[in-house]
Chain A
Amino acid sequence: MTGSIAIIAALLVPLIGVLGIVGARHKPNLRETVTLVTATCLFILVASLLTPVLSGARPSVTLLEVLPGLSIAFEVEPLGLIFALVASLLWIVTSVYAIGYMRGHHEKNQTRFYAYFAVALSSTMGIAFAGNMFTLFIFYEVLTLSTYPLVTHSGTAAAKKGGRTYFGILIGTSIAFQLLAVIITYVTVGTLDFTQGGILAGKASDVVIGLLLLLYVFGVGKAALMPFHRWLPAAMVAPTPVSALLHAVAVVKAGVFTILKVSVYIFGLDLLADIGVRDFLMWLAAASILIASVIAIRQDNLKRRLAYSTISQLAYIVLGAMLATEAGIVGGAMHITMHAFGKITLFFCAGAILVATHKTEISDMKGLGRVMPITMTAYTIGALSIIGAPPMGGLWSKWMLGMAALEAGEVAMIGVLMLSSLLSIGYLLPVSIQAFFNTPDPQKDGKPVFKEAPALSVAALSFTALGCIALFLFPDPLLHLANLIVAPVN
């Protein structure tokens, strides 16, 4: 019973926060306090669900029945809990970071910014805890709608153009493919409940099931699988906290989370393994990993480079799902966390560089390590985690995914993973080299003086960088939780 209250509260707390934020719009300090308190409350609520889920309970609650057999219902299972924990914890950190960034960068309309941010988190919780595909779809759409004003935040022509691409692709794929998939599932099976082992097995012909898989995977545009990835670089016009939490964690992870969820609870791994087009999608994910990496190498704008890196890393998780093995799912779930900590650190650093030095292009960042030593160290830690090098958490998820590929007998995929690690060295580390080993151009940049970003921002990015190391040292709790996803229900 308390579990169901916690679920409802997790959805409502950010919305109550919105009221507080709007109410305190004339007092910035109070407004930011409201955000921080809300974020902390949310995290505590989500964390309170950990004990019951670990002990095998699945707290659930049904809000209302919209159409016969279609209800808005929530059920907490390990995968959703991992996603919710990551998103809510990083919301606190991002809020701390955002205070420094938004003030340091003199952004306008900050109240609107914090308010929509909170709405986005509420819908993220809705996605994480959704008990059926219908509920998930609803919150998926709310998340798109609530992040649109954040992408177009600056109101410039570039922001509007980016916003159009963002909105067009995300809404377009979700309506044209995902909704169709949801309706077909409902018509053929009669239910949309997430069920261990899937609901589709034996309910439809192979052709229909294959088609459904395509519709689901392409319908979840937020997973940024090529060729529906263009919205993510377009979304980089948003302020950096948005890029960091939403376009490295909440929104994109909502996408791959949905794919994992559908794989496990709608198709079921046994059925998934037999679907013909799964092979095609696996190769598409592999291609997405490599192509995005190559494009990333060619970007000079740091945020754009990180965006393409995200596209590549998200495809890892799609790949994990398409391997259709338990290890693949576990690896995918772990990668949600590992990549979140690594990539958010990198985005925080990009934003800190922008605030402190107004630089956005990598070619201008020579010698930046002397100006911003803490930021650039954190950057390097985050980069190593994304690459999957020890002693960073990213190692474990890549390890699991490699194991999964081996288990599934897809040796070529191991090659893809290794090649991708090499490529990610190629696009991430040059920034560190540029910062630490290249001397700045004295005519252009003047004498290097110590100039870090606002303290709150630096604290935030240090925290997430340390998180990457902590996840390397103590991956057990996460691994345990991820293993529960595929463990038989007792």
Chain B
Amino acid sequence: MIAAHLPALQIAVPLIAAPICLLLRRENLSWAWATFISWVVFALAWVMLEKTLTGGAFNYELGGWEAPYGIEYRVDALNAFILLIVAAIGAVVMPYARASVAREIPEHKRGLFYTAYLLCLTGLLGITITGDAFNVFVFLEISSLSSYALIALGRDPKALTAAFQYLIMGTIGATFILIGIGLMYQMTGTLNMADLAKRLPAVEDTRPVLAAFAFFIVGVCLKLALFPLHLWLPNAYAYAPSVVTAFLAATATKVSIYVLYRFVFTIFGQSFSFDVIPLESILLVLSLAGIFAASIVAIFQTNVKRLLAYSSVAQIGYIMLGVALVSVAGLTASILHIFNHAIMKGALFLCMGAVYYQIGSVKIEDMNGIGKKMPFTMFAFVIAGLGLIGVPLTVGFISKWYLITAVLEKGWWPVAVLILLSSLLAVIYIWRVVEAAYFKAGDSDDVVVKEAPVSMLIPIYVLTGASVYFGIETSLPLGTAAEAAKQLMGIGG
């Protein structure tokens, strides 16, 4: 009985849990509640992924209203995988949050923090699961509004301007998305994704549809921070509370990328997106420019969280490059990298959270010699950092391998060379941190810096361990990504 309502529960559980969390008031209680809910959500996502992998995609009609009149949730390999990523990151980050939040957020706001987190989680899961275009916008706003609040909770006053900047850019993006969806509705009279996909080809030569596509793509690219629409991201990630940065970096942009996949491939269809509109060349140029520009900027950052934020922009470039290939192999690489990057970047930001917890700063010059004082945290940082570079036996290597294989399949040799050259930039920015941590003498010997608490180390090591484990045992992410890519390209499934 309950099994049939899994898709609804996936959203309903965190949504209903959020106001309850507010009512709990006590900090520890709301933390425990949010953690518990995160785990429940993770279990639900897991069960659904299992179900799609064995039984194929399935639909759920919300409230029993038949599609296309009611809202429909549709779960297939792709969004079940994204749901799992979001839920898993939430489940890993929450145990970590207690110590970190206690250090970074004023006491009276902590209950609100967990409430906003649950809302944000709801929004991200909702965007991913829904089969209704307007519903995407609604959940997008839920997740965005709550993430503005979460970012603004950062201890640095700059967090406020960062949140405001994000609010302006995010609202522009959301508005564009809404305009795009509105135009689609005007031309087809439907908001159901499957229905849209059927009706759009008949009107695809009309100007409103072209405009809808343009508005929609620009809006989504703003949300997913494709270079050069990424300007909101570095500050937002740098000044948000550590937990928020880790959570958002691993999930928020990824969910937007999912939306792009869904609209470009499932709704507008491959032939419209890539033959009628030269999306391929646009994405290729922008993603390559983004990879290089953001990696180079990352090298010159002194704040490690900002450095990692720019690295995220570069990594999004890799993900979008896979889309630009318009092939099963390219999409597999792209989806795979969503998973892999979420793990690595989550781990790296959690490490920085632990450093901030102990020394109150994430500036490179304040981290001199920290490798000796916080050996476990920094070891994890090195391992996850190696993943970002793409060293074998880490997930980053698997992503890069697949991406380059896909690029070579297309015969785009220069692009393959550029991808490899860009990894060298990652070597430089990661190594700046490693060198400071291990080979520069710390000057703050008077302040006794200790290792982070175990409650922070365990989540760090879960993600770091995953970044190695899935670099060796690749069948789960790879199989799912390949299956999802096939479905997107309309082959099999």
Contacts and interface: CB of A to CB of B under 8 A. Distances in A.
B458 interface: no
B353 to A, nearest CB: 25
B420 A176 contact: yes
B404 A180 contact: yes
Chief secondary structure at chain A's binding surface:
helix
A64 B424 contact: no
B300 interface: no
Contact of A160 (B392, B420, B439): B439
B330 to A, nearest CB: 14
B187 interface: no
Nearest to B419: A180
A168 B402 CA distance: 24
B16 interface: no
Given A64-B472, A168-B427, A172-B427, A184 B408 contact: yes
Nearest to B329: A187
Contact of A186 (B405, B416, B424, B471): B405
B409 A187 contact: yes
Contacts of B402: 67
Contacts of B424: 171-172, 175-176
Contacts of A176: 417, 420-421, 423-424
A461 B167 CA distance: 70
B423 A160 contact: no
B293 interface: no
B326 to A, nearest CB: 18
Interface string A94-133: 0000000000000000000000000000000000000000
B416, B441, B471: residue with the most chain A Cβ atoms closer than 10 Å: B416
A283 interface: no
Interface in A59-91: 64, 66-67
B474 A67 contact: yes
Given A64-B472, A183-B404, A138 B393 contact: yes
Interface string A187-200: 10000000000000
B420 A152 contact: no
A304 B471 CA distance: 39
B431 A187 contact: no
Contacts of B97: none
Interface string B409-438: 100000011001101100100010001001
B405 A187 contact: yes
B391 A67 contact: no
A179 B424 CA distance: 12
Interface in A127-175: 137-138, 141-142, 145, 149, 152, 155, 160, 163-164, 167-168, 171-172, 175
B409 A67 contact: no
Nearest to A64: B472
Nearest to A135: B392
Nearest to A176: B420
B439 A152 contact: yes
B390 A175 contact: yes
A155 B369 CA distance: 11
B39 interface: no
A187 B404 CA distance: 10
Contact of A67 (B398, B408, B431): B398
B391 A64 contact: no
Which of A66, A138, A142, A152 neighbours the largest number of chain B CB atoms within 10 Å of its CB?
Answer: A66
B72 to A, nearest CB: 35
B423 A137 contact: no
Contacts of B401: 67, 183
A179 B408 contact: no
A66 B470 CA distance: 9
Contacts of B121: none
A139 B371 CA distance: 25
B489 to A, nearest CB: 19
Contacts of A164: 431, 435
A67 B421 CA distance: 23
Nearest to A140: B392
A182 to B, nearest CB: 9
Contact of A155 (B404, B439, B473): B439
Contacts of A142: 392
Contacts of A149: 438
B89 interface: no
Contacts of B417: 176, 180
B367 interface: no
9 contacts: A64-B472, A64-B473, A66-B473, A141-B391, A168-B427, A176-B417, A179-B420, A180-B420, A183-B408
The 10 closest A-B pairs by CB, nearest first: A138-B392, A187-B408, A183-B404, A176-B420, A175-B423, A172-B424, A160-B439, A180-B420, A175-B420, A141-B392
